[in-house]
Structure 1
Amino acid sequence: MRGMDPRLERVLFVHAHPDDETLSTGAAIATVAAGGGDAVVVTFTLGERGEVRAERQPDVDHVGVGEVRRQELDQALRALGARGRRIHGWDDSGMSWIRSGVAGPAPDAPPTAMGMADPDDLADALGVVIEETDPTAMVTYDADGGYGHPDHVAAHRASVIVARRYDLPLYVRTDRPADVAFPLEPVRQRVLDALAAHRSQLTVEGDDVVHVGGQRRPLDAVEHYRLIETRPPRRTRWLLRAGALLAGIVIGVVGTFSHQQVPWGILLSLVAAVGFIGGVRAASGSRPMTIAAVLGVVGVIALIAIDPLGRGAFGTERALVPTNLPGWLWTIVPAAASLLALAWPDAEATRRIRMAAMSQAQQRRPDTEPTEGDRQ
């Protein structure tokens, strides 16, 4: 968001419940939209366990809390000028107050609660939205979720994983001046209209927001956001790569000396080599770290097979990698696994491939009806 033309911005705001988008990031959403950018709000749950103000109770009795809050979210997004995306599969966790202003998990959270979900599962679902919307930046809660709500914390963790996978800048809301600031005043009416839409949860009295539970807090005159580092520091990355290289060397040496022991020697050597190379690629998603692992394993095999120390080149009687079945397997299989791991597209490349395919499909069908999310 920093240093870019607002008209080119496509910002994904990641939230857990309806009304979070306005209470936490309303000024930012409205500012992006008012500046000609594309503000997309993704919501994981419908706040099914939220309390309801008395005047909205008849509607809740008729259609349920979730449907009421979904309708309110649609209205709020229209007021802010944003588009909406809904992630299905998880429900509101609820919460309990640990102390004043600090929330924690609810003792009766359902099995489908967002706060109990695997962060990688949440990230996978969020990744689908990333591929659909192709944002230039992401925004979500800080690591503590603002005040400790388990769903907010889960949204932050999933956002960090996704930002790392897709190499996207991630901004989190903070109470202190940081990297980006959005004043309320230029978009005040939009934000007030959005707050008014969430009438089952809150009301606005003067410059204060009054929540259904009676909590009162003033409207923030300025929203502050901090850009966080979702990848390890550069020095740490180099240490990890060095570790991958060293581990690869160890596997290559041990495997070379043990692969002639049939069947367990060659089997364990191949499992260790292929599993290590593939595991580094899958776990880190980093091609440089994968290259380090490959250099360690395959580099050792190649050097020993070529045998510059004179113990016998590949295929000779004295060779450590002779021309028999285990020797060929130990030479070819790790090399093939290395090529596959290095050629495998990373998340960013996959996203761009899918976005290009979607764009071409859209061009072939210019009269395609907009999705429900686009109508919001």
Structure 2
Amino acid sequence: MDLGEHVLFVHAHPDDETLSTGAAIATIAQAGTASVLTLTLGERGEVRPERAQAAQDAGSLAALRSVELDRAIVALGATRVEPEARFEDSGMAWVDGVAAPSADVTVHALTSQRDSDVELLVLDAVQRVRPAALVTYDEDGGYGHPDHRAVHRAVVAVGRDLRIPVYVRAQEPADVAVPLAPVADRVREALAAHASQLAVDGDAVVHVGGQREPIAQVEHYRAVRSSTPLGWGSTVVVGLVALVVGTVGTFTFRAVEPWGLVLALAAAVGIVVGPRLLGSRIASIAASVGVLVPIAIVALDPFRTAGSAGLLEADLAGWLWVLVPAAAALVAMGWPTEAGMARIREAARG
């Protein structure tokens, strides 16, 4: 098993950390550091009758579940990481066979937030604890819970932007397998800590609604493969098209003045900025290189091979053809991600 020496587990609700990733947390905690970030306190969950009074005594279900989360994390040997802010549980309802937030979900719920704001909370925690890897739900959230899916999207986005490996819980054998047996006692103690939501009965968990779920004897994890939003094949195509745009534009932008320059600049800026608008910085870099290389070699003529062609004359058109694509490339490559923009907005608010 090799997820990393310090792993941050990111979940939506208390008890998810143990039900979904308990064996991995306990295993990593034995040899390294396991941190747990939980973005809501599960205030919309039901309560087992045996714990109804405890919830009243605690003041709220959220307060009780926070205490239970503390106990579970201690049992697993992990460290709890508090988010910079906390969202509300979205609840869940089945709509035409698909999991959706509860009908009365509030504006403070996790699923009511922009993806960039959820990413911001994950990003802040990652920057504080600096893990070697991130672990969360798969893209379906395990069983479709909308809060789980929102957390998955945020963790994958942050991992991609910061180049941190991301692993998701898988139902079938994948890249990493974590056996329960060596840490079974720790996991069972952690499960028992979540007494408002479940009970341990032999080798199974009984949920508040009466559903029985076997305790997984092996937890499987799949590495999320790093890729650009456009894919590597599309990135190569973008780079080649940009090379054609840069080359043809360099030789023809003076052909029909001023429309030759206008069309060449529009094509160059579009091929450079377009991939960035689609979320791919890598493809934008490929496009920038494709456009700027022929400009640098042919238009600037560093080897003095252009002779008297005068492809870059010291006039307005010549300088616009050199400077506008270069400026577009700088802006496209340097523009912050959605998480980065969220941090900028947060800083601006003070």
Band of TM-score, shorter chain: 0.7 to 0.9
Residue type at the aligned position of 2:286 = A
Tell me, yes or no, if structure 1 residue 220 matches structure 2 residue 211.
no
Tell me, yes or no, if structure 1 residue 17 matches structure 2 residue 8.
no
Residue among 222, 234, 237 paired with 2:232: 237
Structure 2 distance, partners of 1:119, 1:150, is 12
Tell me, yes or no, if structure 1 residue 250 matches structure 2 residue 234.
no
Q: What is the match of residue 96 of structure 1?
A: 93
Count of residues in correspondence between the two structures: 331
Deviations 1:249-274 (A, max 9, x none): 43675587279968x99788767755
Residue among 326, 342, 348 paired with 1:335: 326
Tell me the secondary structure at the aligned position of residue 204 of structure 1. strand
Structure 1 distance, partners of 2:114, 2:137, is 18
1:86–1:252 distance in 2 versus 1, CA, 3 Å: farther
| Cα displacement (A) at 1:337 | 5.1
Q: What is the match of residue 149 of structure 2?
A: 153
The 8 Å contact of residues 43 and 62 in structure 2, kept in 1 or not, is answered as yes
Residue among 24, 48, 56 paired with 2:43: 48
Matches within 5 A, 1:219-298: 219-231=215-227, 236-247=231-242, 249-250=244-245, 253=248, 257=253, 273=268, 277=272, 280=275, 283-286=279-282, 289-298=283-292
Residue type at the aligned position of 1:17 = H
Tell me, yes or no, if structure 1 residue 197 matches structure 2 residue 193.
yes
Residue type at the aligned position of 1:325 = L
Structure 1 distance, partners of 2:54, 2:308, is 84
Q: What is the match of residue 316 of structure 1?
A: none
The 8 Å contact of residues 79 and 194 in structure 1, kept in 2 or not, is answered as yes
Structure 2 distance, partners of 1:48, 1:82, is 23
Q: Could you tell me which runs of 5 or more consecutive residues in structure 2 were left unpaired when the two chains were aligned.
A: 341-350
Residue type at the aligned position of 2:322 = T
Percent identity over paired residues: 48
Residue type at the aligned position of 1:331 = V
Structure 1 distance, partners of 2:165, 2:74, is 26
Matches within 5 A, 1:31-70: 31-34=27-30, 36-61=31-56, 63-70=59-66
Deviations 1:187-235 (A, max 9, x none): 12211211121111111122221111111112222212222324259x9
Question: What's the TM-score, normalizing by structure 1?
Answer: 0.75
Question: What's the TM-score, normalizing by structure 2?
Answer: 0.80
Structure 1 distance, partners of 2:256, 2:59, is 70
| Cα displacement (A) at 1:279 | 5.6
Residue type at the aligned position of 1:297 = V
Tell me, yes or no, if structure 1 residue 108 matches structure 2 residue 104.
yes
Structure 1 distance, partners of 2:46, 2:261, is 62
Residue type at the aligned position of 1:108 = D
Deviations 1:64-108 (A, max 9, x none): 2222211111111111111122332422111124689x7443222
Tell me, yes or no, if structure 1 residue 180 matches structure 2 residue 176.
yes
The 8 Å contact of residues 71 and 193 in structure 2, kept in 1 or not, is answered as yes
Residue type at the aligned position of 1:94 = G
Q: Could you tell me which runs of 5 or more consecutive residues in structure 1 were left unpaired when the two chains were aligned.
A: 314-318, 351-376
1:168–1:25 distance in 2 versus 1, CA, 3 Å: same
Q: What is the match of residue 316 of structure 2?
A: 325
| Cα displacement (A) at 1:328 | 2.4
The 8 Å contact of residues 259 and 269 in structure 1, kept in 2 or not, is answered as no
Residue type at the aligned position of 2:321 = W
Deviations 1:130-154 (A, max 9, x none): 2222222221112211111111111
